Chain A
Amino acid sequence: MIAYLIRRILYAIPILIGVNLLTFALFFVVNTPDDMARMQLGIKRVTPEAIDKWKQQRGYDKPLFVNSTADGAGTFTDTIFWQKSASMFAFDFGYSDDGRSISREIATRMGPSLAIAIPTFLVGLVVYVSFALMMTLFRATALDMAGVALCVFLMSVSGLFYIIGGQFLVSKLWHLVPISGYAGGADSFKFVVLPIIIGVVGGIGSSSRWYRTIFLDEIGKDYVRTARAKGLSELRVLFTHVLKNAMIPILTGVVVVIPLLFMGSLLTESFFGIPGLGSYTIDAINAQDFSVVRAMVFLGSVLYITGLILTDISYTVVDPRVRLQ
């Protein structure tokens, strides 16, 4: 397995270079360094000299990919692409275009993102599995039909509606939690409870329907019939046998998203005023801050690859028949 993991990590390097190259190309197709400078310097009283100075101070005065004026390796290393990308592989993200340390920002903002993402993920998993199990338990009854209809309904509603509706009902009408904002430590509870509930409710439709399908697949299998024939109660069959075997597809689907929890949620963070990484990314895109955008895309790619590797490992944990070679 170690050899497999090393191989997967080595595969990740060209993937990360490719992602980096693509991000760089896409960004600079839309924005020139001059555009970036103007965005930072504002509209009023910006002179061409100020733009040149801004580019020079941040290293955007070099050619994008190939520096024909440089010699030897400098042809490729004395370029914006190399200067901005190479250090990232050592997780040195440098400074944002407004001069602030990106690593420091990421470290600060990761907490609020996780304060929402982890509970939403865990509570959601429990709720979705429980709801799917309930539908499976009452399969082919009116309750099951109502459950499926509810799932379809919940899937059809926009995420933004949940946010605005939740804020309106819970915060504005019932005065139970603050509409938006964030505080550190124990005070964070009242700020994150509504985003978590909304995150969980928003995911019930799709996740529970998927898990229900997995459970129904399992429930028709021979080992379940055997368990029932032995006289086990339906609840026992479901929780001890069906759930355990259905965990393989559930777990593998779930593990891949765990590392991405660090990246936060763009919409939720923005509407609830949560100072996480999701809103950091959105702000950077709006401000055309390439340094932050590339750092966040790079981090997202690393976390996604990590998720995929963890998924492979989780296969071996939940299914002893699987061997990584």
Chain B
Amino acid sequence: MKSLWLVLSLLLLTACDGALWNSPYSTDDAGESILYTAFTERPKHLDPAQAYSENEYQFLANIYSPPLQYHYLKRPYQLVPLAGSDMPRVSYFDANHKQLPLTARDAWVAYSVYEIRIKPYMRYQPHPALVPNNLYLKESDLDDIYSLSDFAEKGTRTVTAADYVYQIKRLVHPQLHTPIAGVMMEYIVGLKDYAAALQVANKAKPDEFLDLNEYPLPGVEVVNSTTYRITIKGKYPQFAYWLAMPFFAPMPEEAVRFYAQPGMKERNLTLDWWPIGSGPYYLSENDPNKRMVLSKNPYYDSERYPSEGEMGDGAVGLLKDAGKKLPLIDQIVFSLEKETIPYWNKFLQGYYDASGISSDSFDQAVQVSVGGEANVSEAMQKQGIKLSTSVATSTMYTGFNGLDPVVGDDSVRATKLRRAIAIAVDFEEFISIFANGRGIAAQSPIPPGIFGYRAGCEGINHYVYDCANGQAKRKSIEEAKKLLAQAGYPDGVDAVTKQPLVIHLDTTANGVGNKSRLDWIRKQFDKIGVQLDVRSTDYNRFQDKIRRGDTQMFYFGWNADYPDPENFFFLLHGPQGKVKFGGENASNYSNAEYDRLFERMKNMENGPDRQAIIDRMQEVLRRDSPWLWGYHPKNYVLQHSWLHNIKPNIMANNKLKYWRVDTAQREQKRHEWNKPVYWPLEILALGFVGFVAWMRRYLRKREGGH
């Protein structure tokens, strides 16, 4: 009994040291300039040549420094130099390599040369690969080494133009899978032949280190230590956007040689696992099963907080740190959080500085005013939590398969059927019920914020909506029924065969969780008397059906690679047809006029001419209705009052360097919100002691009775 009280007293004593019992972090970290955030899925790749998904870029974009980046504050999204000392200088050449003026017609331009000058004196993060002796390791030297921190010595060196060129060569390395290799081979002069040469060399000596500099790549050349040139075929203004992605970050050849040494792979020491960058942070702790930590690169000294932004940014304090050296936070701790409930609760306790909102916690977090404006709930306001929203550069659509004889062809019958369905399926209702209002109904593939998007009545899809008081008002069901009858299906029955019309929808949504969504979509078709057969399937089968064109309708989505209309319109470009050409046009839509306009539009500079072509392309699409345009999701992000300089920026993944944390306020709030409650422990201990005492007395009495 005495020992029990002793333990209890000790526990209570430890509580008096002021430490928070429920803090998931070490007490040593208290008061440090650390941002706490989470990741929900371990990244598959951390090699800038292979990574392509958001959960990989949230790390890589803060580690690597490509030549360009998106301005953090300015809108519409604007490219600005990152590692580049200025924007790339573009010059055009004809087929005879004779320089053309910048105003030259597209057709004359055979080559575009991008000359990129990088900032001098940029240095890499501390890394063992940059210690010359570490390039000649024997396997036995690695006996006690399982992480980069186990290496005694780390070095650095200046970033050179040759490192950027080396990385471009890695994009077609035969042992790597670079998602954009195909696109780049189409554009960068000589890259296709270079890839073929590497393929042959690798096949001949598969176990040997492949020296990329042994093979010529005419389209990419080093001019001097801070300048390099990329020559691309024709005119491709979107190329600049690719230069803002980690694919084009510098890679020191030493790092590749370092990781290629025997014994490295067996210890999970690979470039795909341990990056080497010249950006504001480096990966100092890499345990994707638990947490990943980015620490400030001690050699990063090339960037300051922007001193100008959008109108109003100054008023909300976004320019307070103008001119300060970046990054503003010393360390970023990413903790693995697979489940939404613990994530959300830790945010409310102050252990995460920012959080998204899952459907489960939406009502607790957000209240929507009568006017439709979203704001944080009263409880959140009391905690000082702020909400920021932005429309994603994504689109969630339902495609019709263009190869299907009922819904797909370009006949009047099929077109009217598609338009009738487009009116019937009420996406405003869908957004309200299933997305908690977090989205806007799409009028075309182009989301707001992308050039070509038109707001108000002039941007309305007049085949589905009418414009009333400047707002889009969905056409009536009677109108949809009229179209259906004109298509040859009065009341949803085929006028010729007298059979009810049945449309098949393929989706990966299945199970109880998705039942309400599927019931809802059936109900939408019921409104016009059409039967909907939902064919739920697993992800693999679904992909397979899309590839073979074995669908009628299907759910799909697209996240933009870069903020340009070309990156959305190409999803409906005929030569990108999924079945015939293995491209990204999953609905296999094909329209000669649209394809012709797309070819003209894709390489144009933004301006009235491009807008006019886009308007025409949208008209063709709306008329043909190859998709139910669906909706563009809205991102809702909550942040605590101690986190500053937050501005939603959908395109930039390297935002963390601009953020600032008031650590004193965070500490104070955490202590305020997380005082341990001791009475349950006391009751439990007292109850246990009481029960044991009662039992002893009872047994003594019973034994006495015997």
A binds B: yes
CA of A275 to CA of B676 in the docked complex: distance in angstroms? 26
Taking a contact as CB atoms under 8 Å apart, the answer to whether A275 and B273 are in contact is: no
CA of A177 to CA of B266 in the docked complex: distance in angstroms? 37
Taking a contact as CB atoms under 8 Å apart, the answer to whether A271 and B339 are in contact is: yes
Taking a contact as CB atoms under 8 Å apart, the answer to whether A98 and B702 are in contact is: no
Taking a contact as CB atoms under 8 Å apart, the answer to whether A179 and B22 are in contact is: yes
Name the contact of A175 in the complex, choosing from B270, B538, B561, B676 (C-beta under 8 A).
B676
Give the residues in chain B near A50, CB-CB below 8 Å.
177, 179, 181
B21 to chain A: closest residue by CB:
A176
Give the residues in chain A near B697, CB-CB below 8 Å.
none
A14, CB-defined interface residue at 8 Å: no
Taking a contact as CB atoms under 8 Å apart, the answer to whether A41 and B677 are in contact is: no
Taking a contact as CB atoms under 8 Å apart, the answer to whether B289 and A42 are in contact is: no
Taking a contact as CB atoms under 8 Å apart, the answer to whether A176 and B22 are in contact is: yes
Given A42-B179, A45-B179, A187-B26: A180 in contact with B342 (beta carbons within 8 A): yes
Given A38-B540, A271-B342, A273-B336: A171 in contact with B703 (beta carbons within 8 A): no
Taking a contact as CB atoms under 8 Å apart, the answer to whether B268 and A100 are in contact is: yes
B504, CB-defined interface residue at 8 Å: no
A40, CB-defined interface residue at 8 Å: yes
B287, CB-defined interface residue at 8 Å: yes
B361, CB-defined interface residue at 8 Å: no
CA of A104 to CA of B269 in the docked complex: distance in angstroms? 11
Name the interface residues of A156-172: CB closer than 8 Å to any CB of B: 164, 167, 169, 171-172
Name the interface residues of A281-312: CB closer than 8 Å to any CB of B: 283, 288
Q: How far is the CB of A34 from chain B (nearest CB, A)?
A: 8
A109 to chain B: closest residue by CB:
B289
CA of A251 to CA of B266 in the docked complex: distance in angstroms? 40
Taking a contact as CB atoms under 8 Å apart, the answer to whether A178 and B22 are in contact is: yes
Taking a contact as CB atoms under 8 Å apart, the answer to whether A273 and B699 are in contact is: no
B499, CB-defined interface residue at 8 Å: no
Name the contact of A47 in the complex, choosing from B182, B289, B544 (C-beta under 8 A).
B182
Name the contact of B42 in the complex, choosing from A167, A180, A283 (C-beta under 8 A).
A283
CA of A272 to CA of B266 in the docked complex: distance in angstroms? 29
Give the residues in chain B near A42, CB-CB below 8 Å.
52-53, 179
A169 to chain B: closest residue by CB:
B680
Tell me if A's interface is mostly helix, strand, loop or mixed: helix
A280 to chain B: closest residue by CB:
B289
Name the contact of A275 in the complex, choosing from B183, B268, B287, B561 (C-beta under 8 A).
B287
Taking a contact as CB atoms under 8 Å apart, the answer to whether B289 and A54 are in contact is: no
Taking a contact as CB atoms under 8 Å apart, the answer to whether A183 and B26 are in contact is: yes
Name the interface residues of B5-43: CB closer than 8 Å to any CB of A: 20-24, 26, 42
Taking a contact as CB atoms under 8 Å apart, the answer to whether B345 and A99 are in contact is: no
Taking a contact as CB atoms under 8 Å apart, the answer to whether B339 and A270 are in contact is: yes
Give the residues in chain B near A176, CB-CB below 8 Å.
21-22, 676-677, 680-681
A168 to chain B: closest residue by CB:
B345
Taking a contact as CB atoms under 8 Å apart, the answer to whether A178 and B336 are in contact is: no
B516, CB-defined interface residue at 8 Å: no
Give the residues in chain B near A108, CB-CB below 8 Å.
289
Give the residues in chain B near A2, CB-CB below 8 Å.
none
CA of A179 to CA of B680 in the docked complex: distance in angstroms? 17
Q: How far is the CB of A242 from chain B (nearest CB, A)?
A: 15
Residue among A42, A137, A175 with most chain B CB within 10 A: A175
Taking a contact as CB atoms under 8 Å apart, the answer to whether A270 and B543 are in contact is: no
Give the residues in chain A near B669, CB-CB below 8 Å.
none
Mask of A36-49 contacts with B, CB within 8 angstroms, 1/0: 00111111111111
A191, CB-defined interface residue at 8 Å: yes
Give the residues in chain A near B183, CB-CB below 8 Å.
45
Name the interface residues of B37-74: CB closer than 8 Å to any CB of A: 42, 44-45, 52-53
CA of A223 to CA of B676 in the docked complex: distance in angstroms? 52
Taking a contact as CB atoms under 8 Å apart, the answer to whether B335 and A99 are in contact is: no
Give the residues in chain A near B540, CB-CB below 8 Å.
30-32, 35, 38-39, 288
A101, CB-defined interface residue at 8 Å: yes
CA of A85 to CA of B59 in the docked complex: distance in angstroms? 35
Give the residues in chain A near B22, CB-CB below 8 Å.
171, 175-179
A275 to chain B: closest residue by CB:
B289
Name the interface residues of B150-179: CB closer than 8 Å to any CB of A: 174-175, 177, 179
Mask of B348-385 contacts with A, CB within 8 angstroms, 1/0: 11010000000000000000000000000000000000
Taking a contact as CB atoms under 8 Å apart, the answer to whether A47 and B342 are in contact is: no
Give the residues in chain B near A105, CB-CB below 8 Å.
268
Taking a contact as CB atoms under 8 Å apart, the answer to whether B273 and A180 are in contact is: no
Mask of A185-228 contacts with B, CB within 8 angstroms, 1/0: 00100110000000000000000000000000000000000000
Mask of A47-64 contacts with B, CB within 8 angstroms, 1/0: 111100110010000000
Name the contact of B44 in the complex, choosing from A30, A40, A44, A190 (C-beta under 8 A).
A40
Taking a contact as CB atoms under 8 Å apart, the answer to whether B267 and A101 are in contact is: yes
Taking a contact as CB atoms under 8 Å apart, the answer to whether A181 and B21 are in contact is: no
Taking a contact as CB atoms under 8 Å apart, the answer to whether A98 and B44 are in contact is: yes
Taking a contact as CB atoms under 8 Å apart, the answer to whether B677 and A175 are in contact is: yes
Give the residues in chain A near B179, CB-CB below 8 Å.
41-42, 44-46, 50
B473, CB-defined interface residue at 8 Å: no
Taking a contact as CB atoms under 8 Å apart, the answer to whether A175 and B182 are in contact is: no
Give the residues in chain B near A175, CB-CB below 8 Å.
20-22, 349, 674-677
Name the interface residues of A254-274: CB closer than 8 Å to any CB of B: 270-273
CA of A108 to CA of B290 in the docked complex: distance in angstroms? 11
Taking a contact as CB atoms under 8 Å apart, the answer to whether A45 and B182 are in contact is: yes
Taking a contact as CB atoms under 8 Å apart, the answer to whether A173 and B26 are in contact is: no
B580, CB-defined interface residue at 8 Å: no
A25, CB-defined interface residue at 8 Å: no
Name the contact of B677 in the complex, choosing from A98, A164, A174 (C-beta under 8 A).
A174
Q: How far is the CB of B680 from chain A (nearest CB, A)?
A: 6
Taking a contact as CB atoms under 8 Å apart, the answer to whether A101 and B699 are in contact is: no
Q: How far is the CB of B674 from chain A (nearest CB, A)?
A: 5
Mask of B508-547 contacts with A, CB within 8 angstroms, 1/0: 0000000000000000000000000000001110011000
Given A53-B177, A176-B677, A178-B23: A101 in contact with B342 (beta carbons within 8 A): no
B596, CB-defined interface residue at 8 Å: no
Taking a contact as CB atoms under 8 Å apart, the answer to whether B676 and A101 are in contact is: no
Taking a contact as CB atoms under 8 Å apart, the answer to whether B582 and A190 are in contact is: no
Name the interface residues of B660-706: CB closer than 8 Å to any CB of A: 674-677, 680-681, 695, 699, 702-703
Give the residues in chain A near B702, CB-CB below 8 Å.
234
A325, CB-defined interface residue at 8 Å: no
A182, CB-defined interface residue at 8 Å: yes
A13, CB-defined interface residue at 8 Å: no
Taking a contact as CB atoms under 8 Å apart, the answer to whether B342 and A179 are in contact is: yes
Taking a contact as CB atoms under 8 Å apart, the answer to whether A179 and B287 are in contact is: no
Taking a contact as CB atoms under 8 Å apart, the answer to whether B699 and A234 are in contact is: yes
Taking a contact as CB atoms under 8 Å apart, the answer to whether B345 and A44 are in contact is: no
A20, CB-defined interface residue at 8 Å: no
Taking a contact as CB atoms under 8 Å apart, the answer to whether A180 and B339 are in contact is: yes
A235, CB-defined interface residue at 8 Å: yes
Taking a contact as CB atoms under 8 Å apart, the answer to whether B584 and A45 are in contact is: yes
Excluding A48-B582, A50-B181, A104-B266, 18 further A-B contacts by CB distance (< 8 Å) are A30-B540, A38-B543, A42-B53, A50-B179, A53-B174, A57-B175, A99-B265, A100-B273, A104-B146, A167-B341, A167-B342, A169-B680, A172-B348, A179-B346, A234-B702, A271-B342, A272-B342, A273-B336
Q: What are 26 A-B contacts defined by CB distance under 8 Å?
A: A30-B540, A35-B544, A40-B44, A41-B179, A44-B179, A49-B182, A53-B177, A57-B175, A95-B265, A108-B289, A164-B341, A167-B341, A167-B342, A174-B676, A175-B20, A175-B675, A178-B22, A178-B351, A179-B22, A179-B24, A180-B337, A180-B346, A181-B24, A270-B338, A271-B339, A273-B338
- Give the interface of A toward B (CB within 8 A): 30-32, 35, 38-50, 53-54, 57, 95, 98-101, 104-105, 108-109, 134, 137, 164, 167, 169, 171-183, 187, 190-191, 233-235, 270-273, 275, 279-280, 283, 288
- Give the interface of B toward A (CB within 8 A): 20-24, 26, 42, 44-45, 52-53, 146, 174-175, 177, 179-183, 265-268, 270, 272-273, 287, 289-290, 335-339, 341-342, 345-346, 348-349, 351, 538-540, 543-544, 561, 582, 584, 674-677, 680-681, 695, 699, 702-703
Query: What are the 10 A-B residue pairs with the smallest beta carbon separation, nearest first?
Result: A275-B289, A181-B24, A35-B540, A180-B342, A178-B24, A174-B677, A45-B179, A275-B290, A175-B22, A179-B342
